[in-house]
C-alpha cells in the first residue's frame, strides 16, 4: 500500500513547485514592474540550484563576474539577491536598510516564528524584544563603561596564555586550540565570572568547539528545505536535529552556573557581578538565558578566534610585516614599560591595528554576512528586490575588488596607514562587521580583544613552523567563519 501511495505523495510537491514557478514567472514578467537584477536563466522548479554546488562566497563571486555586482538567483521557490560591490552594499545596508533589515531565519533553527521573536537575535529589528535584548547587550557588555569594567579580566586571561606558552617554549603548540580556550574564557568571565575551559588540559576546548561549530554549520549549510518549503517539516538533511543536539550540549556548560546564581539571588546572598546577574534581575527565564548565551557565544567566539589565527598566519607568510610589527611593538613598549602599564595598551599600536584590518579585508569572518530579507518590495537603483527575497552582501568579494583596492590579493597592512577607512559600518568598501541595523553588536569588544591577543603573541614570542609540518592556510568555505585546512601548529620561543 505504501509503495502504491509513494508516486502520489511525490506528485503534490511537484505540482506545488510548478504552481509557484508559474506564479513567480508571471509576476516578474509584468512589463510594468522594474526588472530583477540579472542572473543565470533558471530551470523550472529547481531554479539555479544546478549553477551552485554550495552557496559559497567564492562561487557567487565568480558568477558575479558574468552577471554583475547585483545578481539574482532563483533557488527552488526562493528569490536570492546578491550584492558584490560597495555601491550596492550602500544601497542595501544604508539607503534601504529599513526595508531590507528583516532576517531570513534558517529552517535549521528549531523554534517557531513567535519563539524567535521572543528569544532570538534572529528576530526582526522592529520587534520590541529584539530592541530590548540588543540594548541590554550594548549597555552592559559593549558600551565604554562595560568594556572598561572587563579590561582587567582580559589582561588576566591573556597573561595566563602568555605564561602557559613560556612553559611550552621549544615545543609544538596547537595555536588554534590555545586561542580558542583563551577567548572562550574571556567571554565566559564577562557573562558568568568563571572559566569554563583550562589551558592546562590539552585539547580541552575541542569538544566545546565541536558543539559551537556544529551549531554554525547547521545554520549555514545549503539546506534544501529553505528553498523548497514544503519539505521543511521533514528535516531530510538532519540539520534541525543537529542544531538542537549541539545546543543542548552547549547549554549544559552554563546551566549549573545559572542554577547556582538563581539560588543565591533567591536567598539574598549575592551581589551583582556580571551579565548573568543583569538577566536574572530582569526576570529572564532559563529558556531565554540559554538561547541568548548560545547566540552570544556562537556569534562571538569562532569569529574572534579565526581572525586572530588568520592574522598570525598572514604574518608568518609575510615576514616583512611580521618583522615590522615586532619592531614597532618593541619600540613603543619595552619590557620595563610593559611591566608598569596595562597590557591592553599593546592593542593601540597603529601598525598592529593595520594588520588586523588587512586580515579582515582579505578574510572577513562572515564572508556573506548573515542573510537579510526584504520585508516589502523595493527598488535598488534600476532593479527590483521583491518582497521576502533572500538578500546577501558578499563582503569577501568587496574586499578584493580591484577597483577599490590596489593589488587586492596582497597582504599589505601599509594600505591602512594614514587611511581613514574603518570597520565601523561607514565605509562600504570595508564591511567585515556589516552596517546599519544589523551591524555586529559585539564590534567594540572585538576591536579591543583581537589586537590584544595578537600583540601579546607577537611581542613576547618568536614563532616557527614544526619540522616537516604543513604550512597553515585558510580554507574559504561557506561558514560564519573559515576553517584552516591543517591543524595550526607552531613552536614558540620567548623573545629576550
Known binding positions: 440
Q: In the structure grid, which three cell numbers stand for residue 351, read together?
A: 601598525
d(CA 7, CA 1): 11
Element (H, E) at 462: strand 461-464
Angle between helix 206-220 and 239-267 (nearest 10): 120
Element (H, E) at 461: strand 461-464
- 446: nearest Cα among 304, 297, 242: 304
d(CA 113, CA 487): 39
Look at the block and give the residue holding cell 551583582. Answer: 272
Look at the block and give the residue holding cell 508559474. Answer: 22
DSSP secondary structure, 398-442, as one string: HTT-TTTSSSTTS--GGGGTT----SSSS-TT--TT--GGGS-TT
Query: Is 155 in a helix, a strand, or coil?
Result: helix
- 161: nearest Cα among 460, 426, 433: 460
Question: Kind of pairing, strands 378-380 and 383-385?
Answer: antiparallel
Beta bridge partners of 125: none
The two most distant CA atoms of the chain are separated, in Å, by 83
The binding site for heme comprises: 440
Amino acid at each position: 500500500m505504501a509503495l502504491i501511495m509513494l508516486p502520489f505523495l511525490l506528485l503534490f510537491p511537484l505540482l506545488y513547485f510548478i504552481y509557484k514557478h508559474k506564479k513567480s514567472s508571471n509576476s516578474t514578467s509584468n512589463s510594468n514592474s522594474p526588472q530583477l537584477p540579472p542572473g543565470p536563466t533558471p530551470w523550472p522548479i529547481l531554479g539555479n540550484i544546478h549553477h551552485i554546488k554550495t552557496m559559497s562566497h567564492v562561487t557567487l563571486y565568480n558568477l558575479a563576474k558574468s552577471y554583475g555586482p547585483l545578481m539574482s538567483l532563483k533557488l527552488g521557490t526562493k528569490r536570492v539577491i546578491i550584492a558584490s560591490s560597495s555601491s550596492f552594499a550602500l544601497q542595501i545596508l544604508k539607503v534601504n536598510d529599513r526595508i531590507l533589515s528583516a532576517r531570513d531565519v534558517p529552517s535549521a533553527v528549531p523554534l517557531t516564528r513567535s519563539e524567535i521573536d521572543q528569544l532570538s537575535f534572529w528576530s526582526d529589528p522592529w520587534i520590541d524584544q529584539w530592541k530590548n535584548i540588543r540594548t541590554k547587550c550594548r549597555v552592559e557588555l559593549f558600551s565604554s563603561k562595560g568594556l572598561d569594567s572587563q579590561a582587567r579580566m582580559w589582561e588576566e586571561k591573556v597573561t595566563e596564555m602568555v605564561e602557559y606558552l613560556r612553559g611550552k617554549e621549544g615545543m609544538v603548540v596547537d595555536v588554534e586550540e590555545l586561542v580558542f580556550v583563551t577567548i572562550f574564557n574571556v567571554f565566559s568571565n564577562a557573562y558568568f565570572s568563571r572559566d569554563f575551559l583550562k589551558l592546562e588540559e590539552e585539547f580541552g576546548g575541542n569538544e566545546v568547539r565541536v558543539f559551537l561549530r556544529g551549531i554554525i554549520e547547521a545554520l549555514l549549510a545549503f539546506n534544501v528545505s529553505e528553498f523548497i518549503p514544503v519539505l521543511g517539516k521533514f528535516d531530510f538533511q538532519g540539520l534541525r536535529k543537529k542544531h538542537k543536539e549541539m545546543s543542548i550540549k552547549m547549554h549544559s556548560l552554563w546551566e549549573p552556573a545559572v542554577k547556582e546564581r538563581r539560588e543565591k539571588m533567591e536567598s539574598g546572598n549575592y551581589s551583582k557581578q556580571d551579565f548573568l546577574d543583569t538577566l536574572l534581575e530582569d526576570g529572564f527565564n532559563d529558556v531565554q538565558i540559554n538561547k541568548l548565551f548560545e547566540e552570544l557565544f556562537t556569534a562571538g567566539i569562532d569569529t574572534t578566534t579565526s581572525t586572530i589565527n588568520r592574522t598570525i598566519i598572514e604574518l608568518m607568510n609575510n615576514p616583512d610585516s611580521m618583522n615590522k610589527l615586532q619592531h614597532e611593538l618593541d619600540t613603543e613598549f619595552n619590557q620595563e614599560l610593559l611591566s608598569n602599564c596595562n597590557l591592553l595598551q599593546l592593542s593601540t599600536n597603529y601598525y598592529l591595528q593595520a594588520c588586523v584590518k588587512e586580515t579582515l579585508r582579505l578574510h572577513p569572518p562572515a564572508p556573506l554576512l548573515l542573510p537579510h530579507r526584504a520585508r516589502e518590495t523595493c527598488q535598488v537603483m534600476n532593479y527590483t528586490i521583491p518582497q521576502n527575497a533572500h538578500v546577501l552582501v558578499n563582503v569577501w568579494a568587496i574586499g578584493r575588488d580591484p577597483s577599490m583596492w590596489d593589488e587586492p590579493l596582497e597582504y599589505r597592512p601599509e594600505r591602512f596607514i594614514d587611511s581613514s577607512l574603518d570597520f565601523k559600518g561607514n565605509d562600504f568598501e570595508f564591511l567585515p562587521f556589516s552596517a546599519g541595523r544589523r551591524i555586529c553588536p559585539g564590534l567594540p569588544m572585538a576591536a579591543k580583544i583581537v589586537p590584544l591577543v595578537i600583540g601579546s603573541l607577537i611581542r613576547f614570542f618568536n614563532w616557527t613552523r614544526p619540522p616537516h609540518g604543513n604550512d597553515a592556510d585558510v580554507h574559504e568555505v561557506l561558514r560564519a567563519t573559515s576553517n584552516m585546512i591543517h591543524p595550526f601548529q607552531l613552536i614558540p620561543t620567548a623573545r629576550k
